[in-house]
Structure 1
């Protein structure tokens, strides 16, 4: 985008990404290790977990998707740092998605370490006893967005998704923006970066010159910014503000949760801002055509990396929710988009 580019620092990771294989465990600083954990049956393929060793304490960032294979990879990575699970004192998870939080419960059980999430992160579980009503309400919202009747079963959140959510670890600690992770000798500063999720956090390690960016800033992919109902009123506006907070340094090395390490955070932030603004402009062009009557109509008229017809199941749902987030943002900028986005029914509490 107009010449803005990052500088790749994780060369082995990028080679592995190109070759579609798992990258190696890497020692990236004296007491910092990068540990890839498989994310099966997904285009991202793996989550990059990070082991940070402090003064008599050790913290794991984003332990990854819950599977026996992932557990073995995580254990092997800890051994490279001469540690086992019982040596861990804390687990910091940048956000609640299962490819980040999934193994946290098992790690906690094996280590007695605390698990921490951002202070505003939600786990998206419906209230006890309201599962059927919650699923029904989700179906109503998707119909409001114009999803054809024959596609509703495909993308409505159902029992399988709920069972995955129920297995996720509830946090022992909540981390506020501007606070330090409570682990001696680490000096990890928390930056609240809502957008991708309501309570996403990044971690800044000034001493080592590292930024652990979770999914907030990735080297190649633009993270999905979805409208969640119930959820934040304007997630794209939140994301823009969060990018301003984290885009302060081009020299520090960025340690993302996927793909590969890089430097040039400020440059990457500018590219992400430009990309999202271009998407909003594309939405406006579709609206100007006058034919769109729903979120579905707009989404199917937008450009998608693999084409609209390739989107099925969860990716299709994410595409619709991303489109809805742009509509909400544009409306917040004073534009009357004339597209129903908000559920007219009372929200079912998460």
Structure 2
């Protein structure tokens, strides 16, 4: 089954066949428009893949959408979250309160959720301001780009690892660890129907945000992880993808290869940009020179911060491949090209 992205107002809950349904849940004020929440049938009650943003309109859409498909939200068995971001995990706690359902996510994201719940918003603000400074943002940009912290999602009851089967009686729903967008992002392979719930890992027309936070970390390589995860998904072959945004599409392997090619080209352009500069560049300078959906001058401050995170991830991938290096002992951090 293949559909196209339409405005949220035109979206409707759908029976996708084979004991799988989709419910569009709005993301207020976000250009993505909505999250596609999936319900997978089992004798013990449906299990949801993701839950949507924590907002009254989203809750009404989720509970009402399930009702229109013949389900009562009070009968939900569990919620398996592809990753901890608020448009995926935000309503999981409310579903649990209404139904007694369990919440499951990968152990790496579960650790992040616990850390978020343990730290006050003031600590987040100080962390973000210092991160922007070390990236090379000036004081004015630092104040504008520092966004408020979303409310942390509910902590999970269960933690998943790569290859684990989700508690879904009569079905085989297996976790496939696909880090990159978040450290604990998972896709979910419904093996008895050969379908893949891809979360944000593989989307039909856009690519997920891959960033490093704080920007100057040198002990992780999320873009490298993401590219390896694309290869893992590609090994599943030309199966149907059920993503969390946009529309359902066939041949996840082909789309994964397109996304890999996109990032390899982006890395080559970034290496060329660094090579043509006489002086090493800060992360903020690199971000301002890269190509985004809008010119840098037109990007809102919060999106500039996200762009810097993505620039940092690409710089780190070049560094991990021996194509770029950071200067030692400088603040803010600066990068220069190495010969390929």
TM-score greater than 0.5 by the shorter chain: yes
Q: CA RMSD in A?
A: 2.3
Counterpart of 1:34 (choices 7, 12, 22) is 22
Q: CA deviation at 1:136?
A: 2.0
Normalising by structure 2, we get a TM-score of 0.90
Aligned partner of 2:307 in structure 1 is 319
Could you tell me which runs of 5 or more consecutive residues in structure 1 were left unpaired when the two chains were aligned.
1-8, 346-350
Could you tell me which runs of 5 or more consecutive residues in structure 2 were left unpaired when the two chains were aligned.
334-340
User: 1:148-206: per-residue Cα shift (whole Å, max 9, x none)?
Assistant: 2111112224xx41xx333x111111011101001211210110110000100000012
- Is 1:286–2:273 an aligned residue pair? yes
Q: CA deviation at 1:56?
A: 2.3
Give the secondary structure class of the aligned counterpart of 1:71: helix
Contact 1:145-1:341 at 8 Å conserved across structures:
no
Contact 2:271-2:324 at 8 Å conserved across structures:
no
**Superposed counterparts of 1:104-183, under 5 Å:** 104-121=92-109, 122-123=112-113, 125=115, 128=118, 131-157=121-147, 160-161=148-149, 164-166=150-152, 168-183=153-168
In 2, the alpha carbon distance for the partners of 1:110 and 1:103 equals 11
Counterpart of 2:256 (choices 251, 269, 272) is 269
**Superposed counterparts of 1:224-235, under 5 Å:** 224-229=209-214, 233-235=220-222
Contact 1:62-1:101 at 8 Å conserved across structures:
yes
Normalising by structure 1, we get a TM-score of 0.87
Matched residues, number: 328
Q: CA deviation at 1:298?
A: 0.9
Contact 2:67-2:73 at 8 Å conserved across structures:
no
Cα gap change, 1:257 to 1:227, in 2 (>3 Å) = same
**Superposed counterparts of 1:1-350, under 5 Å:** 9-11=1-3, 14=4, 17-18=5-6, 21-121=9-109, 122-123=112-113, 125=115, 128=118, 131-157=121-147, 160-161=148-149, 164-166=150-152, 168-229=153-214, 233-290=220-277, 291=279, 293-338=281-326
Q: CA deviation at 1:283?
A: 1.1
Contact 1:144-1:341 at 8 Å conserved across structures:
no
In 2, the alpha carbon distance for the partners of 1:341 and 1:154 equals 27
In 2, the alpha carbon distance for the partners of 1:99 and 1:118 equals 17
Q: Which has the higher contact order (CA 8 A, sep 6+)?
A: 1
